[in-house]
């Protein structure tokens, strides 16, 4: 089934099944989609606001220009989404324990997000902005972090030898997180 320019909210009529459908320019507000199978669905130019998407299944799901605002996305594996055209932005979201594997996240925005123990593995994050994000125990491995802006984020630990970090921006307070593997003590 195809949906175009529709608004789905907790007060509206519930959708019987979320998998295998196409949503274009739709808005999703205050929905609890915990552990819902969105498998094989397509979301194009859609907005999720104040939704609980904890543990949603995204296998072969297409996310093209999707904005998440004030959403809970705990334990979500974005690495199983359709890679073609993948583009998402996150504002004021909880993304703890999420996985981004082999994703092109060029120029993505993570603003005021919690990314505790999130995994970014083999991703292209060129020119992505992490603004005021908590990156406590987040894992960055084998990524292209060229021109990524981490300047206002905190609890950052990255091994520059395991990632391409050319022209990436860091604050002075992030310096200890870049030197963790050397077991150095940096005094402030």
In terms of domains, do 9 and 90 share one? yes
- What integer pLDDT is reported at residue 16 of this predicted model? 72
The Cα–Cα gap between 48 and 66 comes to: 8
Whether 26 maps to a domain, the answer reads yes
Under the banding of pLDDT at 50, 70 and 90, the label for residue 57 is very high
Is residue 37 one of the residues assigned to a domain? yes
- Identify the band that residue 1 occupies on the pLDDT scale cut at 50, 70 and 90: confident
- Looking at the predicted structure, is the pLDDT value of residue 119 above 60? yes
pLDDT > 60? residue 92: yes
Is 173 inside any structural domain?
yes
| Total domains, the chain | 2
If you average pLDDT over residues 72-87, what whole number do you get? 96
Q: What is the CATH number of the domain that holds 188?
A: 2.160.20.80
What residues does 100 pair with on adjacent strands? 120
**pLDDT reported for residue 90:** 98
Question: Is there a domain that residue 102 lies in?
Answer: no
- C-alpha to C-alpha distance for 56 and 98, rounded to whole angstroms: 11
Angstrom distances, CA of residue 182 to CA of 32, 120, 185: 44, 22, 9
Do residues 23 and 47 make contact, with C-beta atoms less than 8 angstroms apart?
Answer: no
Q: What is the mean pLDDT of the chain?
A: 92
* Residue 129 belongs to domain spanning: 110-188
Do 89 and 50 belong to one domain? yes
Same domain, 43 and 121: no
Question: Same domain for 121 and 74?
Answer: no
Q: Which helix (H) or strand (E) holds 90?
A: strand 88-91
The residue out of 94, 129, 161 marking a domain boundary is 94
* Residue 10, pLDDT score: 84
Co-location of 74 and 136 in the same domain: no
Contacts of 34 (CB under 8 A, 6+ apart): 52, 53, 54, 55, 56
Q: List, in order, residues 6 or more apart from 92 with CB less than 8 Å away.
A: 69, 70, 111, 112, 113
CB atoms within 10 A of CB 188: 6
Structure-token match 């993304």, residue found? 95
């Amino acid at each position: 089934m195809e949906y175009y320019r529709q608004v789905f909210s907790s007060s509206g009529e519930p959708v019987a099944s979320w998998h295998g459908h196409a949503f274009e320019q739709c808005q999703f507000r205050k929905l609890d989609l915990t552990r819902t199978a969105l498998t094989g669905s397509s979301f194009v130019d859609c907005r999720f606001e104040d939704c609980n998407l904890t543990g949603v299944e995204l296998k072969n799901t297409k996310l093209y220009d999707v904005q998440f605002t004030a959403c809970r996305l705990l334990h979500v594996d974005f690495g199983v989404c359709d890679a073609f055209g993948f583009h998402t932005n996150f504002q004021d979201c909880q993304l703890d324990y999420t996985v981004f594997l082999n994703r092109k996240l060029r120029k993505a925005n993570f603003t005021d997000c919690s990314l505790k123990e999130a995994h970014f593995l083999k991703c292209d994050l060129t020119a992505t902005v992490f603004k005021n994000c908590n990156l406590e125990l987040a894992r960055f491995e084998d990524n292209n972090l060229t021109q990524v802006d981490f300047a206002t984020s905190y609890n950052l630990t990255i091994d520059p030898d395991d990632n391409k970090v050319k022209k990436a921006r860091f604050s002075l307070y992030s310096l200890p997180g870049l030197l963790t593997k050397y077991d150095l003590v940096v005094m402030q």
